[in-house]
């Protein structure tokens, strides 16, 4: 499946953002817009997840799969 | 009854009537014919919007109002696993959703247990999984009943007693589920989502302004005074560190895509692309989950000293403390609907699994679809009544069971996901894995070894489950000649790719649920 549809790797984006990157993000400082860094990071991941899925979908579209 | 109590109770009452009416109206024009497919999966006709509200409605339960705020209040950061696993799960749902949808549609299946029975060619496996899944789902129904009870009695300023609130939860939900099934749940979800998004959006702005003079001062105070809440493993020696967060989120993200209620949502879709669009849009809903958690942390400053079950009311304490009665009523309705919608789908799924996979395995019912539909509806009432009865008489039994619910359900992942993609997984392999994984979950959880070595016990059990399943598949008994002769297309599921373009499905896919 991944050979024909490599763009599906985008779907692992949230796993990288939430889970793999956690050791780097598990901190209070620096705060971003007042948000403690961990919360800023997880909020960012939440906003980027739809983007990652969209990129997978766009890949399917471009190859006429979806 | 005081003035406040009367206003809030009246608003609650009106909305409950509206909920039942909406649920019953949904069936108009779809009542006759269609049978179990119409009732259980909405005749496979829901478009992107309905699928979105329905699945968002299932994911956002009374836990989000009570538990998320309570965890935020007690521990802080660990509660974010909810956001993490839902986001990851929705993303892989992009592939899993259309795959399961296409499999069910091709073979005329209506539930996850139906799929298992078809995959392994043995009706009794479907029945077995249906019984196990029911044991895992019943506690959730009870959690929704008690959750709604607590919300309703709080927002009515005590005017509606807990016991009455439990009964209202059961009565409202059962009425429309029995009549209109998944479609009714989708319609009620619309009302729910409007209220949830509206009230949480409002609270997210109002509470920090009202109590702290804005987000800046609130967050500054949080960082300065309560840093323990802001990183893992949270406040108060919860044992829920980064390792627990990662393993729990990973395990739950796999579980949520095969969770019987999620699958009911998948199967309701009119086409595969509605599910793919849904997978893009659904993660946005998770932004809302940050709100009750932040409000729970705000409550640390405003109503300090809540302990035990009291901390679950962190959010509603703020609401009752700071808003007029009518607003309290509306927010309470949003909270109550967050119990009703998931409960409706839980009961529907139990009814479907029993109607088709358990009772349908009885020879006298096997070839009688109309009797299966009737049986499914009776099971819905029975399951709801059982959960209600246990709530009144033995509230702790199901609470104990709920500890293993999610991790127990996770043990079905190899049997379902791996089984549908990989032909060489044998029935005996899948069953052995399930037994070992399930036993390990029970052993670790009931001896209070969860998390174990900083890792989610269910995740550890899943590893054992997969290893056993692979080993038995390789070295264990081979499937018989009849089973081996079935072609791959008959047994395995795959992503269906581009939808054919039927004349009645406009390209947008954003149409009402009337199909």
What's the pLDDT tens digit per position in B2-17? Answer: 788 888 888 888 888 8
Q: Do A26 and B232 touch (CB under 8 A)?
A: yes
Geometric angle at alpha carbon B298, from B309 and B451, rounded to 5°: 50
Total Cβ atoms within 10 A of residue B504: 8
Say how far apart CA B417 and CA B413 lie, in whole Å: 6
Residues in CB range of B112: below 8 A, 6 or more apart: B100, B129, B133, B258, B260, B263, B353, B412, B416
Collapse the DSSP code of A32 into the 3-class scheme (helix H, G, I; strand E, B; otherwise coil) and give the result.
strand
Is the pLDDT reported for residue B156 higher than 50?
yes
Q: Do A36 and B80 touch (CB under 8 A)?
A: no
Q: Do A19 and B88 touch (CB under 8 A)?
A: yes
What's the pLDDT tens digit per position in B313-339? Answer: 788 888 888 888 888 888 888 888 888
Count how many residues are written for chain A: 66
Is the pLDDT reported for residue B58 higher than 50?
yes
Instruction: State mean pLDDT over B59-72.
Output: 78
Sign, CA dihedral B353-B355-B359-B365, equals: negative
Cβ-based burial of B175 (10 A; exposed 0-12, middle 13-18, buried ≥19): middle
What's the pLDDT tens digit per position in B412-467? Answer: 999 999 989 888 888 899 999 999 999 998 888 888 777 778 778 888 899 999 99
Q: What is the interface pTM, i.e. ipTM, of the complex?
A: 0.92
Q: Is B245 on the interface with A (CB under 8 A)?
A: yes
With contact defined as beta carbons under 8 Å apart, do B328 and B43 qualify?
A: no
What confidence tier does B513 reach under pLDDT thresholds 50, 70, 90? very low
Tokens of B193: 């989502």
Q: Do A8 and B87 touch (CB under 8 A)?
A: no
Q: Is B95 on the interface with A (CB under 8 A)?
A: yes
What confidence tier does B56 reach under pLDDT thresholds 50, 70, 90? confident
Q: At what angle do helices B260-267 and B325-353 cross, to 10 degrees?
A: 90
User: Residues of B with CB below 8 A from A2's CB?
Assistant: none
Sign, CA dihedral B123-B129-B135-B138, equals: negative
Least confident of B124-133, B304-313, B339-348, B377-386: B304-313
With contact defined as beta carbons under 8 Å apart, do B264 and B40 qualify?
A: yes
Q: At what angle do helices B260-267 and B48-59 cross, to 10 degrees?
A: 170
Q: For B287-429, where are the E strands, in sequence order?
A: none
DSSP B83-103: HHHHHHHHHHHHHHHHHHHHH
Say how far apart CA B411 and CA B434 lie, in whole Å: 6
What's the whole-model pTM score?
Answer: 0.86
With contact defined as beta carbons under 8 Å apart, do B260 and B353 qualify?
A: yes
Tokens of B220: 């500054």
Q: Give the pLDDT score at B514.
A: 33
Collapse the DSSP code of B233 into the 3-class scheme (helix H, G, I; strand E, B; otherwise coil) and give the result.
strand
| B300, B302, B63, B440: CA torsion to nearest 10 | 20
Q: Give the pLDDT score at A52.
A: 93
User: Which residues face B455 on adjacent strands?
Assistant: B452
Among B167, B173, B135, B111, which residue's Cα sits nearest to residue B338? B173
Geometric angle at alpha carbon B382, from B144 and B409, rounded to 5°: 55
Q: Is B250 on the interface with A (CB under 8 A)?
A: yes
Q: Give the pLDDT score at B510.
A: 38
With contact defined as beta carbons under 8 Å apart, do B139 and B398 qualify?
A: yes
Say how far apart CA A32 and CA B267 lie, in whole Å: 41
Say how far apart CA A50 and CA B60 lie, in whole Å: 18
Least confident of B13-17, B76-80, B190-194: B76-80
User: Which residues face B46 on adjacent strands?
Assistant: B269
| B183, B185, B190, B195: CA torsion to nearest 10 | 170
When CB atoms are compared, the residue of B273, B286, B287 closest to A66 is B273
Say how far apart CA B95 and CA B77 lie, in whole Å: 30
Q: Is B79 on the interface with A (CB under 8 A)?
A: no
Sign, CA dihedral B71-B76-B79-B80, equals: positive
With contact defined as beta carbons under 8 Å apart, do B181 and B40 qualify?
A: yes
Say how far apart CA B294 and CA B79 lie, in whole Å: 11
Instruction: State mean pLDDT over B238-244.
Output: 74
Q: Is A64 on the interface with B (CB under 8 A)?
A: yes
Residue for token pair 């506690």: B139
Q: Give the pLDDT score at B398.
A: 57
Q: Give the pLDDT score at B506.
A: 42
Q: Give the pLDDT score at A49.
A: 92
Total Cβ atoms within 10 A of residue B366: 13
Give, as one character, the DSSP assignment of residue B358. I
Say how far apart CA B325 and CA B3 lie, in whole Å: 8
Q: Give the pLDDT score at B91.
A: 92
Distance between first and last Cα of chain B:
47
Q: What percent of chain A has pLDDT over 70?
A: 95
Q: Give the pLDDT score at B512.
A: 37
When CB atoms are compared, the residue of A27, A47, A53 closest to B279 is A53
CA distance A60 to chain B (A): 8
CA distance B187 to chain A (A): 25
Residue for token pair 């007690």: B74
Question: Chain A neighbours among B 177-216 (CB < 8 Å)?
Answer: 215-216
Q: Give the pLDDT score at B449.
A: 76
Is the pLDDT reported for residue A66 higher than 60?
no
Q: Is A9 on the interface with B (CB under 8 A)?
A: no
What's the pLDDT tens digit per position in B465-480? Answer: 999 999 998 887 888 7
CA distance A20 to chain B (A): 8
Say how far apart CA B167 and CA B392 lie, in whole Å: 10
Q: Is A36 on the interface with B (CB under 8 A)?
A: yes
When CB atoms are compared, the residue of A27, A49, A64 closest to B87 is A49
Nearest CA in chain A to B227: A28
Omega prior to A66 cis, within 30 of 0: no
What's the pLDDT tens digit per position in B158-170? Answer: 888 888 888 888 8
CA distance B374 to chain A (A): 37
Residue for token pair 């619910």: B405
Q: Give the pLDDT score at B335.
A: 87
Is the pLDDT reported for residue A14 higher than 50?
yes
User: Residues of B with CB below 8 A from A19's CB?
Assistant: 84, 88, 245-246, 249-250
Instruction: State mean pLDDT over A54-63.
Output: 87
With contact defined as beta carbons under 8 Å apart, do B229 and B300 qualify?
A: yes
What's the pLDDT tens digit per position in B352-368? Answer: 888 888 887 777 667 77
DSSP B269-300: BSSHHHHHHHHHHGGGGGGGGHHHHHHHHHHH
Preferred mutation among B56, B94, B204, B271 to probe A, highest tally of A CBs within 10 A: B94
Q: Is A49 on the interface with B (CB under 8 A)?
A: yes
Among B22, B78, B352, which residue's Cα sits nearest to residue B195? B22
What's the pLDDT tens digit per position in B258-295? Answer: 998 889 889 888 888 888 988 898 888 888 888 888 88
What's the pLDDT tens digit per position in B351-409? Answer: 888 888 888 777 766 777 777 788 888 888 888 898 888 888 876 665 666 667 888 88
Between residues A56 and B32, the one the model is more confident about: A56
């Amino acid at each position: 499946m991944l050979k024909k549809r490599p763009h599906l790797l985008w779907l692992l984006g949230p796993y990288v953002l939430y889970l793999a990157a956690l050791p780097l993000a598990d901190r209070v400082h620096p705060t971003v817009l007042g948000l403690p860094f961990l919360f800023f990071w997880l909020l960012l991941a939440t906003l980027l997840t739809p983007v990652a899925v969209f990129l997978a979908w766009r890949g399917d579209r471009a190859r006429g799969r979806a | 009854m005081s003035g406040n109590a009367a206003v809030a109770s009246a608003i609650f009452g009106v909305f409950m009537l509206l909920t039942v009416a909406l649920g019953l109206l949904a069936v108009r024009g779809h009542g006759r014919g269609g049978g179990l497919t119409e009732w259980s999966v909405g005749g496979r006709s829901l478009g992107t919007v309905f699928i979105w509200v329905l699945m968002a409605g299932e994911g956002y339960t009374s836990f989000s109002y009570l538990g998320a705020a309570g965890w935020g209040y007690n521990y802080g950061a660990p509660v974010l696993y909810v956001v993490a696993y839902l986001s990851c799960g929705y993303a892989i749902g992009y592939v899993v959703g259309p795959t399961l949808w296409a499999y069910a549609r091709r073979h005329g299946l209506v539930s996850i247990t139906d799929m298992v029975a078809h995959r392994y060619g043995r009706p009794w496996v479907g029945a077995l999984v249906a019984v196990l899944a029911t044991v895992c789902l019943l506690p959730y129904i009870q959690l929704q009943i008690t959750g709604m009870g607590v919300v309703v009695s709080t927002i009515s300023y005590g005017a509606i007693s807990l016991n009455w609130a439990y009964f209202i939860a059961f009565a409202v939900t059962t009425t429309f589920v029995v009549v209109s099934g998944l479609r009714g749940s989708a319609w009620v979800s619309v009302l729910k989502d409007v209220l949830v998004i509206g009230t949480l959006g409002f609270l997210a702005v109002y509470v920090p302004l009202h109590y702290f003079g804005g987000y800046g001062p609130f967050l500054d105070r949080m960082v300065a005074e309560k840093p323990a809440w802001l990183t893992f493993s949270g406040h108060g020696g919860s044992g829920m560190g980064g390792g627990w967060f990662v393993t729990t989120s990973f395990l739950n993200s796999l579980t949520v895509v095969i969770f019987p209620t999620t699958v009911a949502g998948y199967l309701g879709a009119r086409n595969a692309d509605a599910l793919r669009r849904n997978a893009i849009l659904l993660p946005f809903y998770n932004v809302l989950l940050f709100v009750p958690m932040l409000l729970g942390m705000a409550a640390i400053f405003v109503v300090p000293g809540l302990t035990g079950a009291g901390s679950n009311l962190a959010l509603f304490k703020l609401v009752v403390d700071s808003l007029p009665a009518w607003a309290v009523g509306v927010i309470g309705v949003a909270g109550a609907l967050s119990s009703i919608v998931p409960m409706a789908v839980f009961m529907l799924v139990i009814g479907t699994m029993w109607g088709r996979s358990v009772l349908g395995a009885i020879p006298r019912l096997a070839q009688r679809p109309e009797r299966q539909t009737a049986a499914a509806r009776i099971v819905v009432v029975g399951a709801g009544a059982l959960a209600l009865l246990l709530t009144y008489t033995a509230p702790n039994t199901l609470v104990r069971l709920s500890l293993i619910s999610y991790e127990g359900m996770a043990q079905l992942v190899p049997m379902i996901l791996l089984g549908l993609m990989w032909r060489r997984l044998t029935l005996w392999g899948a069953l052995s894995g399930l037994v070992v994984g399930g036993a390990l979950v029970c052993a670790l959880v009931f001896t209070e070894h969860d998390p174990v070595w900083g890792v989610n016990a269910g995740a550890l059990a899943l590893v054992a489950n997969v290893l056993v399943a692979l080993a038995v598949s390789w070295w264990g008994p081979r499937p018989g000649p009849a089973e081996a002769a079935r072609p791959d297309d008959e047994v395995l599921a795959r992503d269906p790719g581009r939808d054919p373009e039927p004349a009645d499905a406009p390209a947008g896919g954003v149409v009402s649920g009337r199909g």
